[in-house]
Structure 1
């Protein structure tokens, strides 16, 4: 019988063996934690890059408000409203030189406004109706009571409209039907003067008719 079979391993040897095994496992645990942490960091970086909300571009509401600014700037400088999209665009593309200073207060410079091509195309194709030669007033509150521009199908589907004060408003079809359009500067809209002129013409023609009947 072997004498070594009955011998037990001393406690010191067992503790040293356990310590060696534990120390060998520690680097693997640390490496695993570092690897997991690295994966978490990479996922967070790529998620912020690819899934963060992209900044929104100009909307139709912004474009309509630009149209209102351009319309009012034309009216301020020319002291009348534009008669067409071509006239307004020509004004924006070739702004007049700033007025010369004649007093202490410097004159207002001409604002530089760029209308997007998509909006100009909508107007020229008739999808957006603009009231040209609008009779604007100095009161923004009064101008805000009238529509200056609206979608061509607003009577059926509603949509975004532009008041004569330059404010973009969302309208239903029923609201659009009740919203008055801005008046224009055309002579045809001056009904009292036209009716008065017609009555004066009729009064002038009456004596001529009576004289002709007397001669007969």
Structure 2
């Protein structure tokens, strides 16, 4: 009997690993080992290197899962990880060489994440971004109860601006590995049209769900199903 792969979850900007809680519970119920990476959110090179280090120390096969900006990191990290069997993008970026988060999000209409909805803080001489509390629900978590969205707004982790502005370099791992994409059709952070474009280009197996950008919180059942499908088909 083949060993079940370890599922490595990488959260995105304005979130933390607790955003995977409902997903983790469902994956563990199916007997899968799970690791949730504490994404530093400091820059694509260093963040991807951290994901590579964490996943590289896992014995046996790995399925890499990224939400939002986390998709950039798994696209980079998997290129250096021979144990990765599949990539799963959850309302996530699937960049090609030369593309940035800002560029991809702005290519299609419908996004509400921008200068008018974000705070800028100078930290160690660099700008870092957070979503304004009054805009968090609409931008990030419109399908969650108001109190839940308010708590997520308080606990959000800011991201270094340069992480979102940096152009992806190298060969994207989705060009060599099988990939799955969950598209959140009510996403106000990454327009659904952008998600569709990236998934089609990558040849990903696509699932669509009526959900906000916080789909791992609002629809952990669907997220887990997509991950389990990727794990089963690449075992």
Taking structure 2 as the reference length, the TM-score comes to 0.23
Structure with greater helix share of residues: 1
Structure with the largest fraction of strand: 2
Q: What TM-score, normalized by structure 1, do the two folds share?
A: 0.25
